[in-house]
């Protein structure tokens, strides 16, 4: 019975104060649309940073007849493999033979390898860490290089720069999301305050005749929920239209293919976040604003 009364009162308030209702809904729409754009862009950038971090490897180059007096033996290679796999930071170890290394070099630099008389490249291990941040620890465990190993390389300066940028991106994403949510709450609360202020005498009369705080607060919070739901749903529709109409014109198929491993969160996840945030912001905006007028 009380729920039906709350719903009827909320609908009466929405239709009776249409201008402030539209203003509150538009505020939610703008806030949720911007939040959706930021989530899509931010998740894409974080995915890109994770993609770059996956390319960070530790490379263990073995001795050859050209580079060392004592070329590496099969037993030393097997011993190094066992040592690497025994490290807690190591996820995977891949062996690159001299022939495989030359084939890769020919694909990457065909001009440089066109006139090679022999194969100067050494065999090596490509060590994939469990976390990109573990490459330095792996390299430290191989210092000094064991017997049969010419050098251990992981591009220290480049790796540190990539990890630093990735860390700043993640921190900036979280901070910006928190700031945007806080700004949305303030904007929605100020907009809903106009509606509540115009009905402050009605609230005072309800309190004077003995209505409880939740009896007064219920219809307003339900009104905020409705505004939040409608605004977030429209924002999701606009984001869907933008994804279907704008993105194909901005990004060509070649760019999509080249960055197949880099992608933003799916629209379903973003829609769930926006609808949940819209409902929460609508209810919080009404509840927080109404506290001032309940002190009668």
- Count Cβ atoms below 10 Å from residue 86 Cβ, excluding itself: 9
Pick the CATH number of 57-153 from 3.40.630.30, 3.30.950.10, 3.30.70.3040, 3.30.70.100: 3.30.70.3040
CA separation, residue 276 to residues 3, 9, 78, 262, 289 (Å)? 21, 23, 54, 26, 20
On the question of pLDDT at 1 being above 60, the answer is no
Side-chain half-sphere exposure of 278, counting CA atoms within 13 A: 31
- Inter-residue contact 56 to 159 (CB < 8 Å): yes
Q: Which two tokens stand for residue 107?
A: 């694909």
Q: What is the pLDDT of residue 257?
A: 45
Other residues' Cβ atoms within 10 Å of the Cβ of residue 45: 17
Name the band, by pLDDT with cuts 50, 70 and 90, for residue 270.
confident
Percent of the chain with pLDDT over 90: 10
Question: What does the pLDDT look like over 45-61, one tens digit per residue?
Answer: 778 777 888 888 999 99
Q: What is the pLDDT of residues 144-192, one digit of tens each?
A: 888 888 888 888 777 888 788 878 887 888 888 788 777 777 776 677 6
- pLDDT attached to residue 284: 74
pLDDT of amino acid 60: 92
Q: For position 209, what pLDDT does the model report?
A: 74
Q: Of 13-22, 77-86, 276-285, which has the strongest mean pLDDT?
A: 77-86
Which SS3 state, helix, strand or coil, does residue 263 take? coil
What is the residue-averaged pLDDT of the chain? 78
pLDDT-based confidence at 289, cuts 50/70/90?
low
The reported pLDDT for the residue numbered 248 is 60
pLDDT tens-place string over residues 204-227: 777 677 766 667 677 777 777 888
Q: How far apart are the first and last CA of the chain?
A: 26
Start-end ranges of CATH 3.30.70.3040 in the chain?
Answer: 57-153
Nearest alpha carbon to residue 64 among 55, 73, 51, 75: 73
Residue 22 is predicted with a pLDDT of: 79
Compute the distance between CA of residue 90 and CA of residue 82 in angstroms, rounded to an integer.
11
At CA 84, angle to CA 78 and CA 88, rounded to 5? 150
Torsion angle of C-alpha atoms 195, 198, 200, 203, degrees rounded to 10: -60
Distance CA 58, CA 221 (A): 56
169 Cβ neighbours under 8 A, 6+ residues apart: 45, 46, 49
Residue 90 confidence (pLDDT) = 92
Give the pLDDT score at 4: 67
pLDDT digits (tens, 9 = 90+) for 246-267: 666 555 444 444 456 667 788 8
pLDDT exceeds 70 at position 231? yes
Give the per-residue pLDDT at 255: 46
pLDDT at position 247, please? Answer: 62
pLDDT for 175: 85
Is the predicted pLDDT of residue 2 greater than 60, yes or no? no
Classify residue 124 by burial, with Cβ atoms within 10 Å: 0-12, 13-18, 19+. buried
């Amino acid at each position: 019975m009380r729920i039906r009364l709350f719903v009827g009162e909320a609908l009466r308030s929405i239709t009776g104060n249409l201008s402030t209702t539209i203003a509150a809904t538009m505020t939610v729409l703008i806030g949720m649309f911007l939040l959706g754009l930021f989530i899509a862009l931010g998740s894409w950038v974080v995915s890109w940073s994770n993609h770059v971090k996956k390319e960070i490897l530790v490379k263990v180059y073995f001795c050859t007849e050209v580079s060392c007096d004592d070329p590496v033996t099969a037993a030393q290679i097997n011993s190094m493999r066992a040592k690497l796999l025994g490290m807690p930071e190591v996820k995977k170890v891949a062996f690159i033979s001299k022939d495989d290394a030359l084939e890769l070099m020919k694909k990457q630099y065909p001009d440089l390898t066109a006139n090679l008389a022999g194969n100067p490249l050494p065999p090596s291990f490509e060590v994939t860490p469990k976390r990109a941040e573990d490459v330095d620890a792996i390299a430290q465990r191989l210092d000094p290089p064991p017997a049969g190993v010419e050098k251990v390389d992981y591009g220290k300066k480049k790796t540190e720069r990539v990890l630093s940028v990735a860390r700043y991106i993640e921190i900036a994403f979280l901070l910006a999301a928190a700031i945007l949510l806080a700004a949305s709450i303030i904007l929605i609360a100020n907009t809903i305050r106009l509606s509540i202020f115009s009905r402050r005498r009605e609230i005072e009369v309800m309190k004077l005749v003995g209505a409880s705080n939740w009896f007064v607060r219920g219809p307003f919070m339900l009104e905020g929920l409705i505004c939040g739901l409608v605004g977030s749903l429209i924002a999701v529709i606009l984001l869907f239209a933008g994804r279907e109409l704008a993105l194909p014109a901005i990004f060509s198929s070649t760019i999509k293919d080249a960055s197949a491993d880099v992608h933003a969160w799916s629209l379903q996840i973003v829609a769930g976040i926006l609808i949940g945030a819209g409902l929460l912001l609508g209810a919080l905006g009404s509840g927080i604003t109404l506290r001032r007028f309940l002190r009668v």
